[in-house]
Amino acid sequence: MAKAGDKSGGSGKKALKRKAATEEPQEAAVAEDGATESGVQPPKAAAFPPGFSISEIKNKQRRHLMFTRWKQQQRKEKLAAKKKLKKEREALGDKAPPKPVPKTIDNQRVYDETIVDPNDEEVAYDEATDEFASYFNRQTSPKILITTSDRPHGRTVRLCEQLSTVIPNSHVYYRRGLALKKIIPQCISRDFTDLIVINEDRKTPNGLILSHLPNGPTAHFKMSSVRLRKEIKRRGKDPTEHIPEIILNNFTTRLGHSRRMFASLFPHNPQL
């Protein structure tokens, strides 16, 4: 019994030593982070040697402490530089150099020769006589058929079903081995204006074909990292039956004018 008591007492002492050893770095970190209770400020941390990275510190608490100090030092240097510049400008008065223009996306954009002038008569004539003119003149209403490649898997089918809830007046058709050469004439006879085909590879959707009926044009788009509705984190509720609005601003190049293909998929008057 005495031996057992000695062993338990020895293990208890070891546990207390381990606990004290783990608490000491935490107390030191708290003492180094800010002022002590007596109001004495700790000495300023030494600058990092060149080529040193905070991520090289293995201890998580120490790494967080050093990163916080580094951010504080960066803010202090930035504030001091602003105050110094302000004093210099006040001292120079009217002779102070002009303030630098802030960099924005617009003033840093590289000029593109393919940007089209909105008042270009040739472009206006092309858009007034192209395949989408009947839609923009409100002579036709969009009616979309959504289908898949032959023998689709479940993920591709669910993508088509969810896409049909986004595009109003769209219908999903399961091909069942029927060729597109037979589907397209039936679409035209039933007044469908567009055909969307979802392709897949290795049971994963990887492409989308958009064809405007009856005379084109047709475009192919690659898809990657497709996520279904339930796989999106913090997603909202399921889409309602309201008519959505599609925003196609700043498509100003000649290629960007193909945005008319996407605009023709949605009704004219969105419900905002």
Model pTM score: 0.60
Give the separation between CA 174 and CA 189, rounded to whole angstroms.
18
Residue 80: what residue type?
A: A
Question: Omega before 185 cis (within 30°)?
Answer: no
Say what the pLDDT of residue 18 is: 52
Domains of the chain: 141-230+238-263 (3.40.50.10480)
Q: Is 62 helix (H, G, I), strand (E, B) or coil?
A: helix
Nearest Cα to Cα of residue 142 among 179, 165, 171:
171
Lowest model confidence (mean pLDDT) among 36-40, 113-117, 142-146, 166-170:
36-40
Percent of residues, the chain, with pLDDT higher than 90: 37
Q: Torsion angle of alpha carbons 105, 109, 112, 116, nearest 10°?
A: 40
Instruction: In whole angstroms, give the CA distance from residue 23 to residue 13.
Output: 15
Q: Are 144 and 196 in contact (CB under 8 A)?
A: yes
pLDDT at 118 over 60: yes
Please compute the mean of the pLDDT values over residues 240-257 and round it to a whole number. 86
For 120-133, how does the pLDDT look when each residue is reduced to its tens digit (9 = 90+)?
888 888 888 889 99
In tens, the pLDDT along 145-202 reads 999 988 889 899 999 999 999 999 999 998 888 888 999 999 999 999 999 999 999 8
Instruction: Give yes or no for a contact between 219 and 258, defined as CB atoms under 8 angstroms apart.
Output: yes
